[in-house]
Amino acid sequence: MDALRRVAREAARKMGLQEVADACGAGACAGLATACLLVLAERLLAPGLAAGVLVAAPVAVGLLAGLSIGAARWPCLEAAALAVDRRFALAERLSSALTAGEGAMAELVRADARRHVAPIDLAVRMPLRPPRLWVALVLCGVGASMALLVPQMDVLGWRARRESEAGRRERVARAAQAAAASLVRLAGVGRENGLERSAAVLERAAKEIASTASAGQTARAAEKVGAALTKAMDANSEALRLAGAEEREKLLRERDMQLGAASVVRRWRERVGARGGGDPTERGKGSEVAKDGGHEAAEPSQFVLSQGTPERPAGAAALEERLVAAGPAADAALARRDIPWRYREVVRRYFSPDESNVR
C-alpha cells in the first residue's frame, strides 16, 4: 500500500508542478504583453512613469495569478491515480487499489496493482515539460525589450509641461530663499543699529517668504509682506516729518533699510510673478520730501517732451544686489561715524537700493 501511495503522491506532485508552470507561463505572457503596451504608451505620451515599474508590475501580477491558479488546480491522490491509470493503460488498477478496503480480495487487487506499477519510472515516463505558452512568452519578452528601446516622443507635450512646472517651482524656491536670506541680513544690520521694530518686521517678512511653496502661497505672502512694509514705511515717513534733528539720522537709517527690504521684495515678486499687495518701493517716493530737507521736487516743464521710463539695463538687478550687499558695511561705517559728516548723505544716497528715488 505504501508503494502505491508513493507512486500516486509522486504523480500528484509532478502534475501539480506542471499545472503551476503552465499557469505561471500564461500569467507571465499576459503580463509581458501588458507591459509592452504600457511601455509603448509611456514612450509616446511620456506620462512620467518609470519604465521598470511598468514592466515589473504587470509581470508580477501575472505570476502571482498563475501561482494561485496552479495551486488551485493541484490534484489529489485519487485524481493523480486516475491520471496514471489513463496514461499507462493500467485499467484503473492503481485507483482501485487506493480505494480498496480490507480483505483477501482487496489484497489481490493491491498486489496486481503493485505488479503493474513496479516497472513504471515516473521520472522518465512523466517528465516536467516547458509551459504550454513558452513560444508566446518568448515573443512577449522580446516585444517588451524592444519597447524599452523606443525613444521618448512626448506626443501630447506632458513631459515638457512637467519639466516647465518643475523648473518654475525650483525658481520660486530659489528666489524665496535668496529674498529671505537678504531680509534676514538687513534685519541683523537693523538690530545692530538699534532699529528693533523694523528688524522684527523684516524677520517676519523673511519667514513669510521662506514658507511659500505654491503659487497661491506666493501670492498671499506677497500681499502680506507688501502690506507690512508699506505700513512700516508710512510710519517712518510720518516720523521723519515730525522728527527733530536728534532722531532724524536714526530714522533716515531706518528708511534706507526699509527701502533695501522693499527692493528685495520687489525683485522676489518679479522673479516669481507674484501679484497683489502693491509695490512697497513706491512708498519711498513720498519720503523723498523728508530726505531732501522738506522741499518738493520741481515738476517738469510742460514744454519738455517726456521720453517715458527708460528700460532697465541688463545688469541693473545684479548691481542692485551688490549695492544691497554692501549696504550693511556702509551703514556700519555711518553708525561708527568713520565717514566725514559732509559725505554721509552722499554715501547714504549711493547705497540706497531704490535707484528711482535718487535724484
* CA dist., res. 331 & res. 347, Å (int): 9
Last residue in a domain, options 113, 148, 183? 148
- Does residue 41 sit in the same domain as residue 82? yes
The answer to whether position 302 is within a domain reads no
- Does residue 69 sit in the same domain as residue 33? yes
Last residue in a domain, options 148, 173, 189? 148
- Does residue 69 sit in the same domain as residue 189? no
pLDDT of residue 31: 93
- Does residue 183 sit in the same domain as residue 66? no
- Does residue 32 sit in the same domain as residue 136? yes
Q: Which residues of the chain have pLDDT under 70?
A: 1, 213-215, 274-325, 327-359
- Does residue 188 sit in the same domain as residue 262? yes
pLDDT of residue 63: 93
Maximum alpha-carbon separation in the chain? 136
- Does residue 94 sit in the same domain as residue 183? no
CB 206 within 8 A of CB 180: yes
- The residue range of the domain holding 315 is 165-297+310-357
The answer to whether position 178 is within a domain reads yes
- Does residue 115 sit in the same domain as residue 196? no
pLDDT of residue 335: 65
CB 216 within 8 A of CB 274: no
CB 277 within 8 A of CB 223: yes
Cβ count within 10 A of residue 242: 9
- Does residue 139 sit in the same domain as residue 254? no
- Does residue 113 sit in the same domain as residue 206? no
- Does residue 170 sit in the same domain as residue 281? yes
pLDDT of residue 68: 94
pLDDT of residue 299: 40
Last residue in a domain, options 120, 148, 176? 148
Domain count, the chain: 2
pLDDT of residue 35: 92
* CA dist., res. 114 & res. 141, Å (int): 46
pLDDT of residue 7: 86
Q: Using the CB atoms, write b or e for 93-120: b if 16+ within 10 Å.
A: bbbbbbebeeeeeeeebbeebbebbeeb
pLDDT of residue 300: 38
